[in-house]
Amino acid sequence: MNRKKSLLLPLMFVTLFFILSIEQDRVSSYEEQRVLVIFHEQINDKLLNKVDASVHHRFEQISAVAISINEAQIAILNNHPEIKLIEEDHIVEIENVSQSDARWGFNATKVERSWANDYKGTGIKIAVIDTGIDSTHPDLTIKDGACFVTTTQNACRNGFMDDNGHGTHVAGIIAANNTTKPFIGVAPNSTVYAIKAMDAEGRGNTSDLIKGIEWAMERKVDIINISASTDVDSTPFRFAIEKAHNQGILVVAAAGNKGKRNGLGDTVEYPAKYETVIAVAAINSQNKRSEFSATGATIEVAAPGENMYSTFPLMLDRDGNPNGYTLQSGTSMAAPFVSGILALYKQQNPMLTNEQLRGLLEKNAFPLGDIGRDAWYGFGLVQAVEGIVLEKPNVTLQVKEPGFIQLQWPAVTNATVYQIYRNETLMTETLDLSFNDWVINGNYTYQVIAVGENGKIEKSAELTTEIAEIGYEDLKNGNWYNPHLIYLSNRKIITGFSNNTIRPYENVTRAQAVTMLGRALGFKDEKMTPFFKDVDKESFASGYIQQAYEQGIVSGFPDGTFRPNQPVTRAEMAILISKAYKLEKTIDNIFIDVTEQMKSYDAIIGVASSNITKGFDDGTFRPEQLMNRLQFSVFVARAKNEQFR
């Protein structure tokens, strides 16, 4: 049962790389407040108009809006059945942590090991949700950007341009790309997207960050870096991040800077505290926890976070050396190290899921604290690697026949499931030690990944092959029925048409159906004088129809006709296949539209007993529905080869 939550009163503290605080104004029942509203289903614009709401942001992904209304209007919405939740859209602002000197973090994380093998994040898209990025900085390249700040009317007058400096500093740690300078980002070839969600004073609304997440999802980024935190669990914020995670995006966030000097207690803030987010703690150059760094069970990894040298807007660079670089400290500086290293991981293994890449953080981390997952450092200090070297299972690939590929491998110790990828697309997860695939002409790369407990990758192997013998103009990879059609095509059971098409969605005729069955059963491929008066001896199907008649598979109609051009129904298909393969009825009737009085009853239950069909999701068989060529082919393939059942 859903319970609507009233307007949240606790203050929300959001930090960029620093500790953030909230301004709270007590408002009268007539003074407008900014709130986040989540609907149970779709956003109801009529309801919003009814309460005269000023809409700042719409969030279609989570059916929510950020609006300004007064307390009386909040009461109306809070009692409306379409409203799931209302909470305050909090104001946030930044406070600086100390700064000093050095560029030690890149040595600590071993990023140059990946660079040596030309892994620099090429092709990986990273969204930086922050105070924007200085797009004029000579050492930063921004693919695209947007501004969603609504704290003041003119906050976005210069687009996503950074007028605070924090976002530019974070972006530089990820992707500064001028090799002639003493500084280069972790993933200098990655593609950066700038999302401005904080203004020049470091102030913004929770809804601005949510809008930034949706924008990043629309651009199908691989990684989102959020160097911001709050001590309030915002439901819309959590929903938005979960949506991004479910889309396959890696979400990395600073754990927060409210850690106690003694490191006791759970001080990790949101969104880092969410299960779908990688929480990053900060360490100093002695590989010790930074005193400000948050601690707790949800810390996943640690990264350099003190005295980080990185890019800074030239117009704001007032540190006595206005070169577009400066030093800053905080968990916000640690998070982009992890985002950058994940980009290196993903470039090396583009077929891995976001959860598998998270597993590599654990696998490759340099332990700093207690064995296992430590409350200060998580699994340890994040590390880049020369190449993600996974012990390869001994996978063999064979092209058994045109279009038919078989992979086999021995059991891998500790593996709980095997994932099979074809050309970077997950084909299946299996406990078997083999995988069969049916493909048309093309080049194919397969990857077999052995996955252990908690998604940890145990082994991986990659093989490539080429198929050049199977091809129809209207048959494309990705169709669920391809294996069946290719299997039948290899055996000349289905041959296609003269224009190199197979016409899968064309209704199958009685002549075509019996011909396919005859070929599957090994009938002679020759023309014969038919028993039926409406079958021409010169027809391609005459011999197959006659042999099917002689073996009792077909009997025709009472008027002595066969009606070769008449489409086949699902009931007729069941009769043909049941007689051809002598299928027996071994289960009770499972179909709500099939009765014992029907002529096709035993045949329908026979094909169901043999797992050739299970009918439709609504419990029907639909016996009078016409069949197309692909549907009939699927049933023939299942009847002939149990592998397809």
Percent residues over pLDDT 70 in the chain: 88
Comparing CA positions, the residue from 144, 161, 243 lying closest to residue 200 is: 161
Tell me the C-alpha distance between 11 and 612, whole Å.
61
pLDDT score for 182: 62
Q: If you average pLDDT over residues 396-404, what whole number do you get? A: 80
C-alpha–C-alpha distance, residues 625 and 511, integer Å:
18
Residue in 208, 188, 165, 232 with CA at minimum distance from that of residue 10: 232
CA–CA dist 643, 419 (Å, integer): 19
Q: Which domains does the chain have, with CATH numbers?
A: 33-89 (3.30.70.80), 93-364 (3.40.50.200), 396-467 (2.60.40.10), 481-640 (no CATH)
* pLDDT at residue 349, rounded to an integer: 82
Inform me whether the pLDDT recorded for 462 exceeds 60.
yes
Closest CA to 211 of 339, 354, 61, 87: 61
Q: Which two tokens stand for residue 2?
A: 């859903």
User: What's the CA gap between 172 and 314, in Å, rounded?
Assistant: 13
Among residues of the chain, what percentage have pLDDT more than 90?
A: 56
Which pLDDT value is given to residue 388?
A: 59
User: Using CA atoms in the order 561, 566, 571, 577, what is the torsion angle rounded to 10 degrees?
Assistant: 80
- Nearest CA to 507 out of 558, 603, 572, 594 is that of 572
The two beta strands, 250-254 and 278-283, are parallel
pLDDT exceeds 90 at position 427:
no
* 166 classed as catalytic: yes
- The chain-wide mean pLDDT, for the chain, equals 86
Tokens standing for residue 96: 């600086």
Q: What angle do CA 241, 137, 212 make, to 5 degrees?
A: 15
Q: Is the pLDDT of residue 135 over 80?
A: yes
Give the pLDDT score at 497. Answer: 75
Contact 417, 431 (CB under 8 A): yes
Joined tokens for residue 570 = 């699902």
Residues 6+ apart with CB under 8 A from 310: 168, 169, 170, 172, 173, 176, 183, 185, 325, 326, 328, 333
Give the pLDDT score at 93.
56
Distance CA 58, CA 55 (A): 7
User: What's the pTM?
Assistant: 0.65
Report the pLDDT value the prediction gives residue 474, as an integer from 0 to 100. Answer: 67
332 is catalytic: yes
| Selected catalytic residue, list 56, 57, 166, 245 | 166
Residue 416's pLDDT is 83
Q: Which of 130, 231, 317, 437 is catalytic?
A: 130
Q: Are the C-beta atoms of residues 36 and 86 closer than 8 Å to each other? A: yes
- What is the four-CA torsion angle of 482, 486, 488, 489, rounded to 10 degrees? 130
DSSP letter assigned to residue 95? -
Checking if the pLDDT of 276 tops 70, the result is yes
Per the model's pLDDT, the better-predicted residue between 103 and 126 turns out to be: 126
Q: Is the pLDDT score of 443 beyond 90?
A: no
Helix (H, G, I), strand (E, B) or coil at 233: coil
CB 129, CB 197: distance < 8 Å: yes
The string of DSSP codes covering 71-87 is HHHHHHHHT-TTEEEEE
SS3 230: strand
pLDDT at 469 over 70: no
Residue 66 is predicted with a pLDDT of 92
Which of 160-174, 266-280, 484-498 shows the lowest per-residue confidence on average (mean pLDDT)?
484-498
Residue 225, burial from CB neighbour count under 10 angstroms (0-12, 13-18, 19+)? buried
Is 130 labeled as catalytic in the residue annotation?
yes
DSSP lists the bridge partners of residue 462 as 447
With beta carbons less than 8 A apart as the criterion, state whether 283 and 305 touch: yes
Where on the phi/psi map is residue 522: left (φ > 0), alpha (ψ -120 to 50), or beta? left
Query: Which of these, 8, 34, 150, 167, lies nearest to 94 by C-alpha position?
Result: 167
Q: How many CA atoms lie within 13 A of 300 on its CB side?
A: 29
pLDDT tens digits for range 333-388:
999 999 999 999 999 888 788 998 999 999 899 999 888 899 999 999 999 987 65
> Considering only 98-112, 172-186, 402-416, 575-589, which range has the smallest mean pLDDT?
98-112
Q: Is the pLDDT of residue 100 over 70?
A: no
pLDDT tens digits, 592-620 = 999 999 999 999 999 999 989 888 889 99
Q: How far apart are CA 97 and CA 307, in angstroms?
A: 10
Identify which of 171, 167, 143, 147 has the alpha carbon closest to the alpha carbon of residue 157: 147
For 11-50, the pLDDT digits (tens) are 333 344 333 333 333 434 568 899 999 999 999 999 999 9
Among 332, 339, 600, 633, the active-site one is: 332
Tokens of 505: 């969605």
**411-445 burial code (b ≥16 CB/10 A, e <16):** ebeebeebbbbbeeeeeeeeeebebebbbbeeebe
Distance of CA 617 to CAs 192, 514, 592, Å?
Answer: 45, 28, 11
Residue with tokens 């501004």: 147
Counted residue by residue, the chain has a size of 645
Over range 480-488, report the average pLDDT. Answer: 79
Residues ≥6 apart with Cβ < 8 Å to 26: none
Lowest mean pLDDT among 20-34, 460-474, 483-497, 575-589: 20-34
Strands 64-69 and 54-59 turn out to be antiparallel
The position carrying tokens 């279009």 is: 403
Dihedral angle, C-alpha 107, 344, 130, 266, nearest 10 °: -70
Residue 154 makes CB contacts below 8 A (sequence gap 6+) with none
* Cβ–Cβ < 8 Å for 24, 13: no
**What average pLDDT does range 108-113 have in this prediction?**
90
4, pLDDT greater than 50: no
